[in-house]
Amino acid sequence: MTVSESKDSITVIVEISGVDPVFVFGPEDRLLRVIEESFPECKFLARGNTVEITGPSDPVVKAELRIRQIMAAVSTGSEVLAADLRRSEPDLLSQSILSSRGKSIRPKTAGQKSYVEAIDKNTIVFGIGPAGTGKTYLAMAKAVQALQRKEVSRIILTRPAVEAGERLGFLPGTLSEKIDPYLRPLFDALHEMLDPDSVPKLIATGTIEVAPLAYMRGRTLNDSFIILDEAQNTTGEQMKMFLTRLGFNSKMVITGDITQIDLPGGASGLTIASKVLDSVDDVHFARLSSKDVIRHPLVGKIVDAYDVASAAKAKKDAQK
C-alpha cells in the first residue's frame, strides 16, 4: 500500500495480490462501481492490479478496507456479488461460516450476525423472523460447520408435518413419500452445503438424520446439532417434547415465523415458548426482521406491507 497526503485529502494505492483482480473488481468492474457509490467523496482509479483512492482520510481508509475485505473473501474461493456488497454490513464479508462448491456462506446483515453469534454462545437458540431472513439456512451452515469440526457427531433436522390444506393421511403414497414435501427444503439446503454424493451416505450411516418431529418422541439426543424448522406449526406439547430431547454436548436451533402459523387451531408452541423461556439462561431468542431479508428486495417490502395490514387489523379488532 502506498499513501500520499495533501492538505485536504490523501491518496492510497491498494495492490491486488494473490487473487485475480477481475474477481475483486467484478465483471465489468461492477463491484468497484458499488464501492464508488458507497464512498462518493472519493475518486477511484483502477490500473491493472492496483486501485488508487483519493479523498478525505476517513472514507479513503474505509474504502480501502472494503476492497481488502473483498480480496479476503475471494482468496477463500468465494464469489462476491454486487447485490451482496450493497446489502452486507461493512465487516461481514470476511466472516465466512462455511465454504462449499465455490460459494461462501456468511451472515449478510447485522441481525444475521447477531443470530450466528448467539448460536455459538448458547445451547438453545430460537430464530424468529419472516421468510427470506436466512433463519434455517444459517442454522444449517452452523450445523455442517460443527460436524466438520467434530464438535458433534451428527446432525438432526426435523419439521412438524403440518400444512395448510391437505393432511398427511389424505395424500397418496407411502409414509416416506408423504413426508418428503415437508422435508425437501432441508434436503435442498444440505445439497448446497455438502457434496451431493456424500449426503445419501451420511444419511445412511445416521450422521445426518432428517425426520418429522413425531419421530423425536421418547429419544435423548446426545452429541448432536439439532434443528427444528417451521416451529410456528408445533403445538405447545410438541415444543415441550422437542426441547426436552436435549442431551449432553448437543445444541438446538429452533426456527420459525409467527406470522405463518398453519395450525388448525390452538396456540403455536413457538409463541408459547417465547413467553415461557424468555428469561431462562442459555436459551436465546434471535428476532430477525424485514431488514434481514436476503431474497429479492421486493420480499422485504412485502413482509412490511403484511405487517402493517396485520397491525391495522389487530387495532380494529381491539376497538370492537
Residue 188: all three cell numbers together? 435442498
Whether residue 65 sits in one domain with residue 110: no
Whether residue 261 sits in one domain with residue 132: yes
pLDDT at 47: 87
Arithmetic mean of pLDDT over the chain: 83
pLDDT at 202: 92
Element holding 283 (H helix, E strand) = strand 283-287
Q: Which of 94, 121, 137 is the last residue of a domain?
A: 94
- Rounded distance between C-alpha atoms, residue 208 and residue 147, angstroms: 10
CATH code: domain of residue 176: 3.40.50.300
Q: Which residues contact 167 (CB under 8 A, 6 or more apart)?
A: none
Whether residue 32 sits in one domain with residue 12: yes
Whether residue 64 sits in one domain with residue 130: no
Q: Which of 94, 125, 158 is the last residue of a domain?
A: 94
In this predicted model, which residue has the larger pLDDT, 319 or 55?
55
In this predicted model, which residue has the larger pLDDT, 284 or 264?
284
Whether residue 142 sits in one domain with residue 9: no
Domain, as residue range, for 156:
103-319
Q: What is the dihedral of CA 301, 303, 308, 311, to 10 degrees?
A: -170
pTM of the shown model: 0.70
pLDDT tens per residue across span 86-144? 655 555 555 677 766 556 788 878 888 899 999 999 999 999 998 888 899 999 999 99
Whether residue 158 sits in one domain with residue 42: no
Whether residue 163 sits in one domain with residue 235: yes
pLDDT tens per residue across span 166-200? 344 544 555 445 556 667 778 888 888 888 888 88
pLDDT at 178: 52
pLDDT at 164: 39
- Number of DSSP helices (H) and strands (E) in the chain, helices first: 11, 12
CATH code: domain of residue 71: 3.30.1370.10
- Rounded distance between C-alpha atoms, residue 62 and residue 39, angstroms: 9
Whether residue 153 sits in one domain with residue 62: no
In this predicted model, which residue has the larger pLDDT, 89 or 69?
69
Q: Average pLDDT in the 54-59 region?
A: 90
pLDDT tens per residue across span 6-54? 667 888 888 988 888 888 888 888 888 888 988 899 999 988 888 999 9
Whether residue 224 sits in one domain with residue 90: no
Q: Helix or strand or coil: residue 227?
A: strand
* 287 strand-pairing partners: 128
pLDDT at 9: 83
Whether residue 171 sits in one domain with residue 79: no
CB 19 within 8 A of CB 75: yes
pLDDT at 165: 38
Exposure string for 143-181, b = 16+ CB within 10 A, e = fewer: bbbbbeeeebebbbbbbbbbeeeeeeeeeeeeeeebbee
Whether residue 44 sits in one domain with residue 160: no
**Residue 198 burial (CB count, 10 A):** 13
For residue 281, give the nearest of 122, 126, 128, 127 by alpha carbon.
122
CB 224 within 8 A of CB 247: yes
Whether residue 284 sits in one domain with residue 214: yes
- Rounded distance between C-alpha atoms, residue 100 and residue 98, angstroms: 6
Q: Which of 71, 94, 117 is the last residue of a domain?
A: 94
CB 252 within 8 A of CB 226: yes
pLDDT tens per residue across span 238-265? 999 999 999 999 999 999 998 888 887 7
CB 294 within 8 A of CB 126: no
pLDDT at 180: 62
Least confident of 142-151, 201-210, 264-273, 294-303: 294-303
Q: Where are the alpha helices (DSSP H) in the chain?
A: 21-25, 30-38, 57-75, 82-87, 110-121, 135-148, 175-193, 198-204, 236-243, 269-276, 297-319
pLDDT at 184: 77
Domain tally, the chain: 2
pLDDT at 256: 94
* 4 strand-pairing partners: 11
